[in-house]
A and B are shown apart, each in its own frame.
Chain A
């Protein structure tokens, strides 16, 4: 039983990181019908930006205020990259065929990835332990402070995002733009601003996810965005791409699924089973778990 609970704790931790990153994919897809392949690399970039802020700006301080500042500054920098990405890589192609935008996204992904390599170098960098190494042993199940923080903060951010999108006027504008951009414009919504806002929110959440990944595993490499981007993308599809609660559910499910497969079957097969699960869900529910069947406009 304690093994089951331990795997549950492991799964929820990695699941919440997947979910934070998946939100960026799903929000952009919801409004623009574009898969932002560069999102994973922005997640990696945020970890490196966080590292630089820690060493250069904060003078290697791990005080509570400094840690908060590292998170906020890294998220702000990543949001700027997100805005630039939208302005220069996606907006000029908004009226172009969808394939052009996808190619542009893949190109942006390579640019960011190689940019990280040029700035921070090709070797693995070590992320500092910003959070004290505290552990609790609850009846054989060991939970660390980092895990609790990751899970807690992710849930708070996700609930806040949900309330923002569902209950505020700007949230209503985002939802309207996702349904029909032309009609939204007629109602006086500035769709360009909504899209920029989507990139700011998505990139910042991805940045927090990237910092969590760096905090939890310590080793960061320039090409790690590919791996986490792929998992988060699967999580977004699982939950139904374009659907915000779906991304959260998909991320958590994927994390738990991977933990249980790796723990009870074999870590070798974790990836294979993940894709088998994805295929099965897409066969049974092509729009994902929470995705709605939307009639294609002709």
Chain B
């Protein structure tokens, strides 16, 4: 009996020692992103940027002497693969996770990270992401409700649209943005004449647009992704629907203008400032390093948002001198001064939402470049 007890104790000690040794090597950071699939360029951007942030911290000696190791997992932009990624990353012992790009994937993985006490920082903008009460989730972008308030204000009070049509697909991000925008438009005294849903990637939006045409709208607000937005815009112009096109933040991608062709000119897109418009010195340095390392600029501002989410968690680990996620979370909540980030000051509210937002409206020019026409 005594022997057994001693053996168990010995085994436990050995396990503890081994665990201690292996975790002493590196600090593992998971990157859950759509590295292949429809949003592949966004996913690859997130992976590239997180490697760059890791290199920055590693150069300064890492976190408590540990070097940061990036463990990527490809969720392909689908909820099913996202749930598998979450389990996989938790099993590999990551201390926090950057990603994913889409709200749907971030949401599918949330509970696994919460149960394991692994922090997660994502650019997902769906309101629902912070409504489950998972303390582990930190949003590095701004929620749909913030964008909806700006979009409604712009459409109703700045542009004075009288007949607005709202279009979304079925993803959690798009329906969330569409519904909060409709609520915000109504609150601002505007008039939504129709709310239409389209199937993402169905390509043929002409039937829906034809019935939208009969509503005689002066503005179409599209809350979905750029892959559908570009085609929707092209087909809208082809049908001669004389209405302004206003795309939500996920339309901000170079492929939008390519898909829309000549029709891209004159379309409006609402988002936070694009990477090259960011006024902060830290942004200019980061973009220069990114370009030098990967030979191109990041695909969109979402890449930088995720890099900032990663940066603030690493900063907290460094300052709080711990990698215990609960203590890191408490440090983040107690921060009274925001941390300067690539996309602006970084600070979280109690529910995991990022505080402070600055939206802009861009108009796409004839050469596919953006012109700022209104800023918050």
Q: Which A residues form the contact surface with B (CB < 8 A)?
A: 3, 6-7, 10-11, 14, 121-124, 126, 129, 133, 135, 137, 142, 144, 213, 217-219, 221, 258-264, 266-268, 270-271
In this assembly, does B319 line the interface, its C-beta being within 8 Å of a C-beta of chain A?
Answer: no
Q: How far is the CB of A84 from chain B (nearest CB, A)?
A: 27
Q: Assuming the A-B contacts A123-B41, A133-B262, are A142 and B240 also in contact, with contact meaning beta carbons closer than 8 angstroms in the complex?
A: yes
- Decide if A124 touches B207 in the complex (CB within 8 Å): no
Across the A-B interface, how many residue pairs have beta carbons closer than 8 Å?
A: 87
Contact for A124 among B170, B196, B227, CB less than 8 A: B227
Chain B residues, Cβ within 8 Å of A144:
238
Q: How far is the CB of A17 from chain B (nearest CB, A)?
A: 10
**How distant is the Cα of A137 from the Cα of B213 in the complex, in angstroms?**
14
Contact for A217 among B197, B231, B258, CB less than 8 A: B231
Q: Assuming the A-B contacts A122-B36, A129-B261, A219-B259, are A135 and B238 also in contact, with contact meaning beta carbons closer than 8 angstroms in the complex?
A: yes
Q: Assuming the A-B contacts A126-B259, A142-B238, are A221 and B206 also in contact, with contact meaning beta carbons closer than 8 angstroms in the complex?
A: no
In this assembly, does B37 line the interface, its C-beta being within 8 Å of a C-beta of chain A?
Answer: yes
**A-B pairs with lowest CB-CB distance, top 9:** A262-B207, A263-B207, A126-B258, A123-B40, A10-B206, A217-B203, A122-B36, A142-B240, A6-B210
**How distant is the Cα of A123 from the Cα of B198 in the complex, in angstroms?**
21
**How distant is the Cα of A133 from the Cα of B36 in the complex, in angstroms?**
32
Report 28 cross-chain contacts, Cβ distance below 8 Å, ordered by A residue.
A3-B211, A6-B213, A6-B239, A7-B207, A10-B206, A10-B210, A122-B37, A122-B40, A124-B227, A126-B255, A129-B261, A129-B262, A133-B261, A135-B238, A135-B240, A142-B240, A218-B258, A218-B259, A258-B204, A260-B207, A261-B207, A262-B208, A263-B210, A264-B211, A267-B199, A267-B205, A268-B197, A271-B199
Digitize B229-253: 1 where CB-to-A-CB distance is under 8 Å, 0 elsewhere: 0110010001110000000000000
Chain B residues, Cβ within 8 Å of A264:
211
Q: Which B residues form the contact surface with A (CB < 8 A)?
A: 36-38, 40-41, 170, 196-199, 201-208, 210-211, 213-214, 227, 230-231, 234, 238-240, 255, 258-259, 261-263
Chain B residues, Cβ within 8 Å of A260:
207
Contact for A259 among B36, B206, B261, B262, CB less than 8 A: B206
- Decide if A217 touches B211 in the complex (CB within 8 Å): no
**How distant is the Cα of A267 from the Cα of B37 in the complex, in angstroms?**
24
Chain A residues, Cβ within 8 Å of B255:
124, 126
Which residue of chain B lies nearest to A117 when distances are taken between CB atoms in the complex? B36
Q: Assuming the A-B contacts A129-B261, A259-B206, are A218 and B238 also in contact, with contact meaning beta carbons closer than 8 angstroms in the complex?
A: no
**How distant is the Cα of A267 from the Cα of B208 in the complex, in angstroms?**
7
Most B-side CB within 10 Å, residue of A217, A261, A266:
A217
Given contacts A10-B206, A144-B238, A218-B261, 15 further A-B contacts (CB under 8 A): A3-B211, A6-B239, A10-B210, A126-B259, A142-B240, A217-B203, A218-B234, A258-B207, A259-B206, A263-B207, A267-B199, A267-B202, A267-B207, A267-B208, A268-B199
Q: How far is the CB of A168 from chain B (nearest CB, A)?
A: 36
Chain A residues, Cβ within 8 Å of B213:
3, 6
- Decide if A10 touches B207 in the complex (CB within 8 Å): yes
Chain A residues, Cβ within 8 Å of B37:
122-123
Contact for A142 among B205, B239, B263, CB less than 8 A: B239
Q: Assuming the A-B contacts A124-B38, A142-B240, are A3 and B214 also in contact, with contact meaning beta carbons closer than 8 angstroms in the complex?
A: yes
Q: Assuming the A-B contacts A14-B204, A122-B36, A219-B227, are A7 and B210 also in contact, with contact meaning beta carbons closer than 8 angstroms in the complex?
A: yes
Q: How far is the CB of A26 from chain B (nearest CB, A)?
A: 23
Which residue of chain B lies nearest to A142 when distances are taken between CB atoms in the complex? B240
**How distant is the Cα of A126 from the Cα of B255 in the complex, in angstroms?**
8
**How distant is the Cα of A259 from the Cα of B202 in the complex, in angstroms?**
12
Which residue of chain A lies nearest to B238 when distances are taken between CB atoms in the complex? A144
Q: How far is the CB of A269 from chain B (nearest CB, A)?
A: 10
Q: How far is the CB of A249 from chain B (nearest CB, A)?
A: 20
Chain A residues, Cβ within 8 Å of B207:
7, 10-11, 258-263, 267, 270
Q: How far is the CB of B268 from chain A (nearest CB, A)?
A: 20
**How distant is the Cα of A213 from the Cα of B41 in the complex, in angstroms?**
24
Which residue of chain A lies nearest to B228 when distances are taken between CB atoms in the complex? A219
Chain B residues, Cβ within 8 Å of A271:
199
Chain B residues, Cβ within 8 Å of A263:
207-208, 210-211
Contact for B197 among A135, A261, A267, CB less than 8 A: A267
Which residue of chain A lies nearest to B207 when distances are taken between CB atoms in the complex? A262
- Decide if B230 touches A219 in the complex (CB within 8 Å): yes
Which residue of chain A lies nearest to B204 when distances are taken between CB atoms in the complex? A14
**How distant is the Cα of A221 from the Cα of B38 in the complex, in angstroms?**
8
Chain A residues, Cβ within 8 Å of B214:
3
Q: How far is the CB of B374 from chain A (nearest CB, A)?
A: 29
**How distant is the Cα of A233 from the Cα of B348 in the complex, in angstroms?**
52
